[in-house]
Amino acid sequence: MNLNGKKVLVTGADGFIGSHLTEHLVRAGADVRAFVYYNSFNSWGWLDQSSDEIRSSLDVFAGDIRDPHGVRTAMQGCDVVMHLAALIAIPYSYHSPDTYVDTNIKGTLNIVQAARDLGVERVVHTSTSEVYGTARFVPITEEHPLQGQSPYSASKIGADQIAQSFHLSFGTPVATIRPFNTYGPRQSARAVIPTIITQLAAGARQIKLGALSPTRDFNYVRDTVRGFAAIAECDAAVGQVVNVGSNYEVSIGDTAALIAELMDREVEILSDEQRLRPAGSEVERLWADNSRALQLAGWAPEYPGIEGLRRGLAETIDWFTRAENLSRYKAGQYNI
C-alpha cells in the first residue's frame, strides 16, 4: 500500500505523536482527516501550532473516541486509520483507572468494529512498550510476555488484544505498532525528558525526578512517525505486532546527566518521592529489539545509539527552550 492519495484518519491527531504524524502524512501526499478531542474552545491541540499550509490541508473532526457513533462517522470514506487516541499518563491511571478502560479498550473496540463494518483497508493500532513490563530478557522481542504493571499498561494490553482479536476473528486488516519511549518537541511534561529540560530551562539548580536507575529505549519522534507510515504501507505487517525502538538502552539518571551536559548546566539530580511509582509497578528495564520492523517494513531508526540520542535531545532542547514554547509548560509543578 502507498499512502499517497489515500484518505487517512488519524485519531489523537491533536496530541504529541499524533500531530507530528499528521504533518508527516500531509507532506507525504495523504488526504488526512484529523480526529481531535472535542472541546468548547475549538482547540485542535498541537495542530494549532502547525503551519498554515498543513492546517489548511486538514479535514478536522472533533469528537470523542469513546463514542462509537462519532467514531463511525469520522471513519466514513477513509481508507486507512492510524489509531493513536489514548490516555497515557501512568500516575493518572493509579487514581482514575476506569477512564483508561473506557478510552483505551472501548475506544479501540469502537475503531476496529467500525473498520470491520466499513471495509477499511488498513488499521494501524498503537500499543506501547509498557505492556512488556520489566524486561525478562533483552533486547525485548515481540514475543516477550505481557505484564500489566499499571492500570495504564493493563488497559493497553486489553486494547492490543481487542485489535488482534478482530484480525483473527473477522480478518480485519489490523497491524499493531509498539513504540518504545518516544520523545521530542511538543511532548507533555508528564514524561521524563521534557520534565528535565523544562526544569533546567527555568533555571533550576536541582531537578526532581522519580527513580533514576530504570532504563529506557528512547526513540525520537521523527523515527516513530516514520515507523507508523512504514507499517501502514506494509502488507506483511497485517496481523503482526511490530516494535519501533532505537535498540539502545540508557538509564534515567544518565539521560538527565546527558541533557544537563547538552544544556551546559551544573545540577543536582534528586529523586522526588511523589514521582516514584509503587515498587511493583515500576518498569525497571526497557530495550527494544527492532529487527522485525526492518525485516517486514524496511524501517530502521535514523537517530540510533548514543549519537542519535544526542542529536534528538539537541533538537528537543532547542524547541523547548524557545520562550514561546517553554511558556506553555509549568516547570515548577509535578505533572501527572
User: Terminal CA-to-CA distance of the chain, rounded, Å?
Assistant: 39
Q: What is the per-residue pLDDT for 270?
A: 83
Give residue 335's pLDDT band: very low, low, confident or very high (50, 70, 90). Answer: confident
* 245 touches 288 (CB < 8 A): yes
- Is 90 exceeded by the pLDDT of residue 194? yes
Residue 336 pLDDT greater than 80, yes or no:
no
Q: Is 290 exposed, middle or buried (0-12, 13-18, 19+ CB in 10 A)?
A: buried
**Quick count: other Cβ atoms within 10 Å of Cβ 36?**
27
Q: Which domains does the chain have, with CATH numbers?
A: 7-184+219-247+289-297 (3.40.50.720), 192-214+249-280+304-326 (3.90.25.10)
Is residue 105's pLDDT more than 80? Answer: yes
For residue 286, which of 141, 92, 124, 90 has the smallest C-alpha distance? 141
For residue 185, which phi and psi values (nearest 5 degrees)?
-55, 140
Report whether pLDDT(271) > 90.
no
- CA-to-CA dists, residue 73 to 3, 12, 67, 197, 246, angstroms: 21, 16, 10, 40, 36
Inter-residue contact 67 to 74 (CB < 8 Å)? no
Which grid cell is 259? 541533557
CA quadruple 256, 258, 264, 266: dihedral sign? positive
Indicate the average pLDDT of the chain.
96
Q: Measured between alpha carbons, how far is 23 from 267 in angstroms, rounded to an integer?
A: 36
Residue 56 class from Cβ within 10 Å (0-12 exposed, 13-18 middle, 19+ buried)? Answer: exposed
